[in-house]
Chain A
């Protein structure tokens, strides 16, 4: 009898160890995993488009509230209220908790606070110091100085992001984005992203014409250590790709003709021509007025000096800085630049595509005095 009781108790205590697992198994048995969204595709303007679709659905299905008028339709969606007006103009300092939809233009004065999303089917003009939840505009959209957007901004027309404006998520436009000094966002995507002081006249492309260093060196030529490049540290990985052991700081103009992995920092002189991809386990610095046709990937920071023209993708594990006059453009696809830490855009930068950061993308003004001295320094290096 004692043995029986002991056995039962022992088994009960033993089972207790697995009882939760047993119950979990009963709940799971016969089921399939559904954790993946098989339909997922990545789209840069997803937030704006998703909001438009939801709103369209609500307006088509929700009944109008009884207090609607000819000039203002009102819908109740749960605890949220939706106002639909032909156009709207808010005076400064107003606080609005409803979702606002305007069939035409929308404007507001300074220091308003919109606690819910705005849908503007015409052009939008947001006064300085205003706080927004999120805004989608089918026309052009101008965000004044020091506007705060808690989530995203999406515009079909030109989007102007005023000085010192903060956007805590994505900013997208199907036309162009003008990104003024002091503004920041997590990512920007548009056919053209421009910072202040655009000047296309100064661009001259002469990169590679006077290249002093060739990597790899041309057949029949003898490579020798020069201008910071030591051929003894260059090895083939096969497949036409090379790696360089240690830092590679080329002080002269470089012509890179094959993919290169640098196991240290990489820098090249002004007017270099990089026709292939470069990866550096440290920082990358590209000399002024260089042309970059291959992708640049740095585990550390990435700096493009003034007037660099890139036709590729940039990725930095640290910070990234695109200096005055940098241009990013390629034929078939948009270009993209992403940094894990801050990505800084100086004046007169034009990117046809996307800039993003896990931290923030920030525009800064390049003071002319600093620019002159820095440019002179860069060109004489």
Chain B
């Protein structure tokens, strides 16, 4: 009797996991196919430089002395009109040399207005919440301290705000330390698929892109309309995406607004980063699923996509459940009584169909990017897949345990910077040298090429 129940439960779990993962696979195929056949992405690139609102750039910083100089140099060198620009480095209780670096830049460039935070709740959302009160821009842009924006990124990120429906915008993150470790190489593939393929496809299909909290921005009026940042959330960016969506605002994706980032090079850092994302996104799922389902003005496809996005980390335990159920059936002789061929065909069919979906997205993205050498790393993504599954399951276990017992979560964890002693020389060797020229061009607005500093 017990064996029969076990077999029945295992079958139910396998079918359930196949259905859920199959649905996700269909979604991945759809995005990949849509991205490939796209002739004219939904974009505002032709309006870059013509949309020039007053902008405030926030750089949340906590012990960022290794990277602070790079991002400040890069922002000084941007081609945005300095009269319309305000940069607020949010120095959140740093104990290293971050404050000195920020103050040095503030002394040289009047549009850099540091906010030094010495007390209060830790974490990026809380720091942003306080700093936002000082901002004077119509658009708030955000960069993490380890990011290095290119010269045109600010103009590219402000262009989508020509559309009054756009409440937030997200640019593309490109890992620069791809060769630091195998993990960073594999994460570069993951990022590539996530932005070039998924974000662009979702935006083109009329779904809201996911605001990532860095290399992005939000309309000040929209932020106020949804009550500001959520300091309780570990992923204030995702929280904001859905708060905006429920109020009628969209998030735009700008593929050309690319910015280098540093991805984790070892698993301890990656696991913690993933744990924060899992906790934050799953928290958003619990906070918003009800409102999303009931939202009067969202189309059915938009609701479905939003729920798929918020529930994506739940697929990890579902995969594990499917594996365990398969093992149970494999080792129970009584379970072998079912017709083997149709079942085997079903499972093999599913495996062939489903397991390739995410690889298809990576393939599409690397094809569009022209990074063929990196695409060859794809089989090794299996390692990443197994490791991610374990880390996600562990994070979810902790999340639901804490939720059940009403105890606090892990809290904010800052991703450790490495930058391996290069001190950003690769990015900004000539940045300040051209800063004055850039500013002169910016005041005029770069519509016509000048005699120097040109690129296309």
Contact = CB atoms under 8 A, between A and B. Distances in A.
Interface in A27-41: 27-33, 35-41
- Please provide the 6 A-B residue pairs with the shortest distance between their CB atoms, ordered closest to farther: A238-B225, A239-B221, A24-B376, A49-B449, A239-B225, A259-B164
Contact of A25 (B155, B164, B185): B185
Of listed A17, A21, A187, A334, residue having the most chain B CB within 10 A: A21
A297 interface: yes
A17 B379 contact: yes
B152 A41 contact: yes
A43 B164 contact: no
In the complex, which range does the number of interface residues on chain A fall in?
Answer: 35 or more
Given A18-B379, A315-B44, A239 B222 contact: yes
Interface string A221-255: 00000000000000101111101010000000000
B376 A36 contact: no
B86 to A, nearest CB: 18
Of listed B156, B164, B260, residue having the most chain A CB within 10 A: B164
Interface stretch (B48-56, B123-131, B278-286): B48-56
A57 interface: no
B455 A237 contact: no
Interface of A: 17-18, 20-21, 23-25, 27-33, 35-50, 53, 172, 174, 187, 189, 235, 237-241, 243, 245, 259-261, 263, 276-279, 294-295, 297, 313, 315, 317, 333-336, 338, 340, 353-354, 356, 358
Given A24-B374, A41-B446, A174-B448, A36 B258 contact: yes
Contacts of A240: 221
Interface residues of B, number: 69
Given A36-B174, A237-B247, A24 B373 contact: yes
20 contacts: A18-B379, A28-B377, A30-B179, A32-B176, A32-B178, A36-B260, A38-B150, A38-B427, A41-B455, A44-B447, A46-B449, A235-B248, A238-B222, A239-B225, A243-B297, A263-B297, A279-B165, A297-B162, A313-B47, A354-B50
Contacts, number: 192
B163 A297 contact: yes
A48 B448 CA distance: 10
A333 B50 contact: yes
A332 B447 CA distance: 13
Contacts of B162: 277, 295, 297, 313, 315
Contacts of B185: 25, 28-29
B79 interface: yes
Contacts of B223: 239
A335 B447 CA distance: 12
B163 A237 contact: no
Nearest to B181: A29
A55 to B, nearest CB: 14
B448 A44 contact: yes
Given A41-B455, A235-B248, 17 more contacts: A24-B376, A25-B185, A28-B178, A28-B185, A28-B374, A30-B180, A35-B371, A39-B455, A41-B151, A41-B454, A42-B152, A46-B456, A237-B247, A239-B219, A239-B220, A297-B165, A315-B163
B298 to A, nearest CB: 11
A277 to B, nearest CB: 4
Contacts of B177: 32-33
B207 interface: no
B448 A25 contact: no
A310 to B, nearest CB: 13
Of listed A41, A48, A238, residue having the most chain B CB within 10 A: A41
B454 A358 contact: no
Interface in B391-434: 426-427
A36 B247 CA distance: 35
Contact of B152 (A25, A40, A277, A315): A40
B176 A33 contact: yes
A261 B165 contact: yes
B134 interface: no
Contacts of B448: 43-45, 49, 172, 174
B50 A353 contact: yes
A39 B78 CA distance: 9
B454 A50 contact: yes
A315 B45 CA distance: 11
A31 B178 CA distance: 7
B46 A241 contact: no
B167 to A, nearest CB: 8
Contacts of A189: 447
A37 B455 contact: yes
B426 A32 contact: yes
Interface string B26-50: 0000000000000010101111111
A41 B453 contact: yes
